Amino acid sequence: MNLKQLVVSSTLVAMLILSACGKTQDKEEEASAAKPPKSEEAQKKVETNASEPTTEIEEADEETAEETESAENGSSENMNPYMEEETGGDIEIVYTNTEPELIHAYSDEVTISIEEYQIAHVTNMNESAKHNFEDEDEGYVITYKLGFENKLEEDLFFNASTMMLSDDGTENLYMRIGLVDRADWLKGDKDKAGRQYSPGKYTGMQSYTMTKDQYQRLTAPTFTIDMPMLEDDFYKQIGKDAIFKVPFNADGAEKATKSSALYADKMVTDTIADKELFFAKEDVNETQKIDDVSITLEGVQYADVKPTTANAERFRNFGDGPLVALTAKFQVKNDSSIAISKSMMESRLLLDQNRGTMLSQGMLEPTLYGDMQPGESEEILTVFLFRKDEFALLKELGLQFGPLTDSNAKKLFKEKSVTFDLPMK
């Protein structure tokens, strides 16, 4: 089988698998890094239970670390004392991060932030409270303090809907609205439901629960916050969902830092796969035009890809070998007089000039809604997936962007497209 047949065949199979299995979530936007949290109970337990002999120096280091950790835990004020009342349990603060620096801009005027988060160990709780922890005798509660700011001159509608997904993508953890006092919820000031926010700054808390086993397996779960809207209209959403990797320990902090450097395709935002960059060129900044529409290739990233446990089956027809993902980042500016569909922008790779073509993997790209109106611009990410052995055979890649369409799938601008030569390692 020649190279063209091999690559195109693998690509078609992969597209069928990804399309058939569908998407895990409609979540996008870049994942943000945070400072490492102040204490690491899980790591301390691993050290305490380790069976290997240790040197006197190592033991001394552990004792010092435990003393420091104990002091931090003892001085940590419970930011959510209401959960003690609700569970009737004994509360031990095991984890506090007062400066996570997790901020997401929906626009220049609208932002959401995690101002602080804290994990508490709950034991000796009331029988009626055990349902929060899958009927186990102990569990953990993570409480987030959120800050939402509206600098527009009009009201916003914001549900403050959130989701917390485990590192491996296998579990959606449960938000427990009843473990936060209603007075401390994040809510607006203009309606009884708390969805309408006038201009200003608002803070409030949310809590999620974890079993002991879940907590010990988590390092940097993904915390997602929905978009606000204008006029309570789904089609007038502002920006993209806020997606944060929230570190639970030093490993999580490292993972979050690496994740923040990645283009926010769905492998990152929906925890579909772990990506390890091996080459990037993020300052390409080449602009071409389709009539009055400017398409700027801002950069490209190449990464080794390992599907997460929850999504491994979606990649089964690629075999057991390693995978490579190419993610290209574009900025599209519509200076024409015609509205352009965001969701139907086409892109394809030209392999070694004339060896064949490859369609992008739509299921791995951020989901976009509505049209790009005249005068508007949009960030576009396009993703291509290869078997690593096949990728190694390629020498040149061209990326064709377009044709552009309207919301009825009618091709615009005489069906024109533009092609960029991609840098390769």
Final residue belonging to a domain, choices 261, 289, 309: 261
Is 62 inside a domain boundary? no
- Does residue 195 sit in the same domain as residue 248? yes
Read off the pTM. Answer: 0.77
Cβ of 241: how many Cβ atoms within 10 Å? 24
Copy the structure tokens of residue 203: 């803070």
The torsion angles phi and psi of 26, rounded to 5 degrees, stand at -100, 70
Q: Which of 261, 278, 300 is the last residue of a domain?
A: 261
Torsion of CA 125, 130, 134, 136, to 10 degrees: 40
Are 160 and 233 members of one domain? yes
**Using 50, 70 and 90 to split pLDDT, how confident is the model at 317?**
confident
Give the model's confidence band at 404: pLDDT under 50 very low, under 70 low, under 90 confident, else very high.
Answer: very high
pLDDT greater at residue 41 or residue 339: 339
What pLDDT does 198 receive? Answer: 97
pLDDT in tens, 44-83: 433 433 333 333 334 434 443 343 343 333 347 999 999 9
Q: What is the mean pLDDT of the chain?
A: 85
Are 283 and 296 found together in one domain?
yes
**Do 233 and 299 fall within a single domain?**
no
SS3 18: helix
Q: pLDDT tens digits for 323-382?
A: 999 999 999 999 999 999 999 999 999 999 888 999 999 999 999 888 999 999 999 999
pLDDT mean over 222-244 = 93
- Write the DSSP assignment of 150-188 as a string of letters: E-SSS-EE----EEEE-TTS--EEEE-GGGS-GGGS---
* 186 and 255 fall within a common domain: yes
Could you report the per-residue pLDDT of 272-310, keeping only the tens digit for each?
999 999 999 999 999 999 999 999 999 999 999 999 999
80 & 225 share domain = yes
Q: Classify residue 328 as exposed, middle or buried by CB count within 10 Å of its CB (0-12, 13-18, 19+).
A: buried
Read off the CATH number of the domain in which 372 is found. Answer: 2.60.40.4170
In angstroms, rounded to a whole number, what is the distance separating the alpha carbons of residues 197 and 273? 36
Q: What is the structure's pLDDT at 153?
A: 96
Alpha-carbon distance 269 to 245, whole Å? 9
User: SS3 for 327?
Assistant: strand
pLDDT of 87 > 60? The answer is: yes
Kindly report the number of other CB atoms within 10 A of residue 333's CB atom. Answer: 17
Residue pair 311/273 in contact by the 8 Å Cβ criterion: yes
Residue-wise pLDDT tens digits, 201-225: 999 999 999 999 999 999 999 999 9
Q: What local confidence, expressed as pLDDT, does residue 369 receive?
A: 85
Question: Position of tokens 């995690």?
Answer: 114
Range of the domain at 387: 1-24+262-425
- Cβ neighbours, 10 Å, residue 227: 20
pLDDT of residue 46: 35
